[in-house]
Amino acid sequence: MKHQRSSALQEALSTAPLRLPETPCPACADGAEAFGSLVFGLDAMRKRLPKDVYRRLARIISEGGRLDPAIADVVANAMKDWAIEMGADHYTHWFQPMTGLTAEKHDAFLSPTPDGHMINEFSGKMLICGEPDASSFPSGGIRSTFEARGYTAWDPSVPVFIIRNDNGATLHIPTFFYAYSGEALDRKIPLLRSLDALSTQALRILRLFGNTTARRVRASVGPEQEYFLVDRRLAALRPDLLLTGRTLLGAPSPKGQEMEDHYFGAIPARVMAFMQDVERELQKLGIPAKTRHNEVAPGQFELAPIYEEANLACDHNMLTMNMLRHLAARHGFLCLLHEKPFAGVNGSGKHNNWSLTDSDGNNLLNPGSTPQDNAQFLVFLAAVLRAVHLHGAALRLGAIGAGNDHRLGANEAPPAIISVFLGQELTGVIEGIITGTPAPHTGDSVMEIGVSSLPPLPIDTSDRNRTSPFAFTGNKFEFRAVGSSQSVAPANIALNAAMTCALQDIADELERATAAGQSLNATLQDLLPRLFRQHAPVLFNGNGYAPAWKEEAARRGLPDYADTVTAVEHYSDAGVMQVFLRAGVLGEREMLARQEILFEHYAKTVRIEGDVLLRMVNRQILPAVRQAEDRAARLLAHVRAVSDADEAEAEHFLRLRGHAAGLQGAAAALGEALAACRAAADAHGMARTARDAVLPAMRLCREHADALELLVDDDLWPLPTYAELLWTH
């Protein structure tokens, strides 16, 4: 075993769990008192703001709207005083550009005075708007690189918060990010547009059912976060892990996940210390981390929060990913958020649990206890089926990415075909509505929906289907296709926009019929069977991994965009663009810019992986193989000198030489593919070349390298193996 690898492995195996500081008081032991302590939330505002200012700001937070500049200075001053008391000396406008990560530029509260002194200053103008140098952020052609001006604007609907480190603290202000010309350069602006549009159309439906009190309908989201942990010292010897987040080569471990003993198993002590550290920090930020456990693959874990309003949930998930990466180093780990860090074992996803709730607290996707509630539920269910059926291509864009391409449809994640799973009983209800015959019922109780010819609705409709990308789980839908490293904003933007269009279509028809004097019940009796019949092709309760499903989906007319490049090529389709344009979520220029950014991001991701793999092959693998060849040649010569029985040594030597030659040829082909990718005329061409030339060349390199790992003596192999990476915690 190479000395560096051996030393890193010994240190990893002897590392004790990090001892966390004791909780400050017994009352804080359960985290309740510390929850939200680093957030300038409603409680802090109530204590520090004048009553009239607090009421106006609280109304904006709960109902939306713009901050009145007249109260901005008062809010900013109270926020500054609170932040300084909490140890902050800088503030930053925290935003989410189209890089897929978060961004921040820190400014000090301190400002010079004319008499040569310094004062703490933070005005309403500083709070509301900032101007970072934005020339290097992706814009998809909306802005030229020499145009540096981009703006950040405070999003008052989510609270500001403080991030602490060992040397200080910074006030973080969640903001929008937009161009000088007004277009959105982030994912927060279209997300908020989609939430407003969805609320408007959902309220039209509620009003038809007699609800006059709800002021807003909110989409709620609970994103489950999967991740891997590897020892940092072992990861430091793997350029692929450090630079790409995944292993670009590596032979399978003798033991992987086939024993199914890691899932929900006892959490290793080092990992438990890390999880507890993460949870404490998240709780201070008001992030309701609820569940932790071992996932299916060795070295894989999951953190799940309680669901929240979608805009806040998206912010919190970005913070969670940042916190996982940051705190992992403190515990001697590298946190891998990539969708497929290791070949041959389970990849990581991020189940996006989505539901709708009105401002009165009613979950609109929860079958109710009265006939009216159930009729309303069926209308919203019909809207979901319409949204997914008609706009599945748009939803597919919420789960794209070079990393996710390695995961979708690989017997560990749903296929790229977007379908809906409702479970046997609820599907039976839908079929009964279509045919006009009551569905057989196997549950304990039923609820009448109030329309004479429609069958009763079962209470217990929840079930699970791991192969479904969009599954109903009782009072919410679980969008399972989202990748672990991705922001959940794109998935929810697409889902909200598609749902907006579906609800608008239904509300238009219901309002026309009732305005003409037809009763709501009579209208529903005609509308619901027609909608469910029209959108029944999107319903699928079977095995999404089965090859037959792809053929069946094609017969049903469901799109199957198996990779990111294919999906993004459909971004500019008239039908896809119309979803976002009609809902007012994105303008045409913003959409075309995003298409350009996505092509470019995919191409760059694959190109970086190819460059890293090529260097690893040339600088680490082939030199080790040459040493192994020399050793094997000497052994073969020695055996032949003393015996005629040299078959095993000769075969080993020939296999070594064969794979070494194959690897050299594959590396040369990879170099040519990378050159072709760089020479492509545009981002679309680069993405196509990355998919069609670079990735196949990388796969061929890996085949030979992984075979060589099993042939080269362990003391010569330079890279930590899968067994060492996956089982050292």
- Who contacts 643 (Cβ-Cβ below 8 Å, separation ≥6)? none
Per the document, the length of the chain is 729
Mean pLDDT in residue range 247-264: 88
Predicted local confidence at residue 445, as pLDDT: 42
Q: How far apart are CA 160 and CA 654, in angstroms?
A: 64
Predicted local confidence at residue 15, as pLDDT: 84
Q: Partners of 164 in the beta sheet?
A: 169
Predicted local confidence at residue 645, as pLDDT: 67
Reduced DSSP (H G I as helix, E B as strand, rest coil) percent helix, strand, coil of the chain, to 5: 50, 15, 35
Q: Bigger pLDDT: 545 or 439?
A: 545
Predicted local confidence at residue 81, as pLDDT: 93
Strand locations in 508-602, DSSP E? Answer: none
Q: Which of 297, 356, 316 is nearest to 476 (CA)?
A: 356
The helix/strand/coil state of 139 is coil
Q: Which two tokens stand for residue 606?
A: 């694959």
Mean pLDDT in residue range 42-65: 89
Type and span of the H or E element at 494: helix 489-515
Triad 6, 7, 8: Cα angle to 5°: 95
Predicted local confidence at residue 134, as pLDDT: 65
Q: How far apart are CA 204 and CA 488, in angstroms?
A: 27
Are 266 and 18 in contact, with CB atoms under 8 Å apart?
Answer: no
Greatest alpha-carbon pair distance for the chain in Å reads 104
Answer yes or no: is pLDDT of 2 > 70: no
Backbone angles phi, psi at 172, to 5 degrees: -105, 125
| pLDDT, tens digit (0-9, with 9 covering 90-100), for 86-107 | 999 999 999 999 999 999 989 9
Q: How far apart are CA 332 and CA 32, in angstroms?
A: 28
Backbone angles phi, psi at 364, to 5 degrees: -80, -10
Answer yes or no: is pLDDT of 674 > 50: yes
Helices (H), 86-187: 124-128
Predicted local confidence at residue 350, as pLDDT: 93
CA distances to 161, 577, 581 from 281, in Å = 12, 40, 39
DSSP 523: H
Percent of the chain with pLDDT over 90: 68
pTM above 0.75, yes or no: yes
Predicted local confidence at residue 26, as pLDDT: 38
pLDDT class of 260 with cuts at 50, 70, 90: confident
Mean pLDDT in residue range 691-714: 97
Answer yes or no: is pLDDT of 27 > 70: no
Answer yes or no: is pLDDT of 25 > 60: no
Mean pLDDT score across all residues of the chain:
89
Are 469 and 417 in contact, with CB atoms under 8 Å apart?
Answer: yes
Q: Which of 616, 580, 239, 193 is nearest to 393 (CA)?
A: 580
Predicted local confidence at residue 9, as pLDDT: 77
Say which residue the tokens 């040299």 belong to. Answer: 646
Q: Partners of 169 in the beta sheet?
A: 88, 164
CA distances to 187, 212, 624, 629 from 633, in Å = 59, 86, 14, 6
Amino acid at the residue 103: A
Mean pLDDT in residue range 244-253: 96
pLDDT class of 113 with cuts at 50, 70, 90: low
Q: Which of 154, 96, 151, 168 is nearest to 122 (CA)?
A: 154
Predicted local confidence at residue 594, as pLDDT: 95
Predicted local confidence at residue 256, as pLDDT: 83
Answer yes or no: is pLDDT of 495 > 70: yes
Q: How far apart are CA 131 and CA 493, in angstroms?
A: 25
Strand locations in 251-316, DSSP E? Answer: 289-294, 300-305, 308-309
- In this structure, the number of other CB atoms found within 10 A of the CB of residue 621 comes to 24
Answer yes or no: is pLDDT of 372 > 80: no
Amino acid at the residue 234: L
DSSP 175: E
CA distances to 120, 123, 712 from 110, in Å = 4, 12, 60
| pLDDT, tens digit (0-9, with 9 covering 90-100), for 542-575 | 999 899 999 999 999 999 999 999 999 999 999 9
Predicted local confidence at residue 235, as pLDDT: 94
Report CA Rg, the chain.
28
